[in-house]
Amino acid sequence: TKEIGEQLQVEKGDKILDIGSGIGGPAFYLAGNFGAYVTGVELSANMYNLSLERLERQNEEIKSRVELINADVCSLDYPEGTFDIVHTRDTFLHISDKAKLLELTRKWLKPGGLFLITDYCRGDKALWDQAYTEYVELRQYTLHTVEEYCELLRGA
């Protein structure tokens, strides 16, 4: 998170949307170390509840700079240009309608805003064995190739 904050050149007062905020670690770090205002959105009620418990243990500055939301990010509606930075780390595989989320991300970012995504990509499905295919299906992962991600990004 430190490297990401530095590479994105996060500045005090930046508004950041953290999609798939988990138990809150990056949100707390970016708020506490860079002075950003972070909105963390987490779909999992369990992870969200853990993040609330962890937020209560933070100092007042971090508490005032972090908002945690338990929701499907695609169901949210923010005004155009709300965020300076949107980031999602290893979360897109859980989102079936990636095109919609990319469209929303583009809307929510300020002009010149930054979007960081890290995620798992897949190779040729013809090379998957049965066990791996079942693993992906059981977890309802939506995996794409690098080229498919590029097409999604170009279309946003």
pLDDT per residue over 142-155, tens digit each? 888 888 888 888 88
Q: What is the pLDDT of residues 119-129, one digit of tens each?
A: 888 888 888 88
- Report, as ranges of residue numbers, the positions in the chain whose pLDDT lies below 50: none
- Contact yes or no for 121/153 (Cβ under 8 A): no
pTM: 0.86
Give the neighbor-by-neighbor strand order of the sheet with 83-89. Answer: 66-70, 37-42, 15-19, 83-89, 109-118
- Contact yes or no for 34/11 (Cβ under 8 A): yes
